[in-house]
Structure 1
Amino acid sequence: MKKKMLVATLLAAAAVGVACLAVTSRQHRERCLLATAAMHQRLMADQERDATLAAMSPALDSCTEEQRVHTLHCNRWMVLWTSQFRTRVVAPGAMHGVAVDFMANPRNAEFWKKARKVRIAEARDSTDREFVEIFEQAYRATFRSPDCTNLSS
């Protein structure tokens, strides 16, 4: 009887240890994600303030100063929202509301129209694809755009 109790206790302790490792690993990934996003935000803020740093983003070469700043600002919001969504700080339903509000501004919708292909191509996993799909749904609902692609398939 004592032997069975000892085995059960050891198995329970092992299970708790494995669970702790899994949680710790996930938390580490989330901390790395947040630290990287913070660094990205600082770099983009520098680009917003200093036009000479625009060389880091050749896609912005043909933009006016106002367009460049707006594009970088929108991208900063996207990075923030992606991080919030990935870490589940913001639930999918709430993120849909964010996306609808974002698309209500025609300049923001124009940003999404240009950025969405990059977002689709750079989606790492189902969480990123879900995030992009939320913004695609808001874009389609706002503009009834027939050329939007369903990302679910």
Structure 2
Amino acid sequence: MVKRVSQWNAGCPVARSLDVIGDWWSLLIIRDAFDGSRRFGEFQSGLGIGKAVLATRLRDLVERGIFETAPASDGTAYREYILTAKGRGLFPVIVALRQWGEDHLFAPGEKRSLLVDREKGAPIAQLEVRSRDGRSLAWFDTQVLAESSCLPGSR
């Protein structure tokens, strides 16, 4: 088995993010939490994941501040996994993955789930990367600066 190398000390925000949530089970657990799963058994039955793997991933996600545990809302002895503000901040990441998959991994007309606006019942708009002044940006309109101190206004 290949040992995973931590990217926590990398200078790249993408590498550090993947160190926390880059495991595919972790992303699916987070996705299911956005869909309403809260208990260990709900995650397990929804994902078909083994108990040991799920327990490890949930423990890691709690330790990394993505979830917190709380007493079950129905007063039973169970614990529930609740997304923290840090975890809820992953919503655009999950939506971006969903939209990329919809655009590139399904045949025309192939059945799939659909993310809709709860109030209107209509599909949500495509995510866009925008400049601070609101312009839509493509990949070629951006660049990565080596240090955050190089950013305008960060002195």
Q: Same fold (TM over 0.5)?
A: no
TM-score range, shorter chain: under 0.3
Q: Tell which structure's C-alpha radius of gyration is larger.
A: 1
Structure scoring higher RCO (CA < 8 A, sep ≥ 6) equals 1
**TM-score, length of structure 2 as denominator length:** 0.25
**TM-score, length of structure 1 as denominator length:** 0.25
Judging by fraction of residues, say which structure has more strand: 2
